[in-house]
Structure 1
């Protein structure tokens, strides 16, 4: 039986700590960004580096209905 991949807990923690550094949603926590903003990045291209990785990860979490991964960490905060 193949084991399912486990989420990277450190990256998930970053989603509830890292703030958007620019734009309309400057200073918003990545996990709190509206899905429409994440979809816009999906069509325009995510920024390079750590920010792009976090935004694309949050997009995938929302797209696949996995918000519970982030919400669970907030409760542990």
Structure 2
């Protein structure tokens, strides 16, 4: 993975565009808890990303993108994702799924 000092402006724009389109495909931020596509990786909490940093990011492109997001957030650059958030209707909120049925024990 290229470091932040080794990437040119156009590549960085492309990287941010790809990050903006990528959603978590598994886990508590995946489609099961955040239907239909999962949580955007740019809004994942830094603590969650740090967990992966310490134990290893997923293999492949998803892991590379998550590592970039962690790097940017860990260096205080979270506002760089604000234009992506505005384009997508604001910051994603983590809300646990509500039950769709209730049993009142008639």
Please state which band the TM-score falls in when normalised by the shorter chain.
0.7 to 0.9
- What is aligned with 1:8? 12
For normalisation by structure 2, the TM-score amounts to 0.61
Count of residues in correspondence between the two structures: 74
Q: Which one has a bigger Cα radius of gyration?
A: 2
For normalisation by structure 1, the TM-score amounts to 0.81
Asked whether the 8 Å contact 1:30–1:58 carries over to 2, the reply is yes
Whole-angstrom distance in 2 between the partners of 1:74 and 1:13: 12
Q: Which runs of 5+ in 2 are unaligned?
A: 1-6, 31-37, 89-106
Q: Which runs of 5+ in 1 are unaligned?
A: none
What value does the CA root-mean-square deviation take over the aligned residues? 1.9
Bigger relative contact order, structure 1 or 2, given CA contacts below 8 A and separation 6+? 1
- Please identify runs of 4+ aligned residues in structure 1 that moved more than 6 A: none
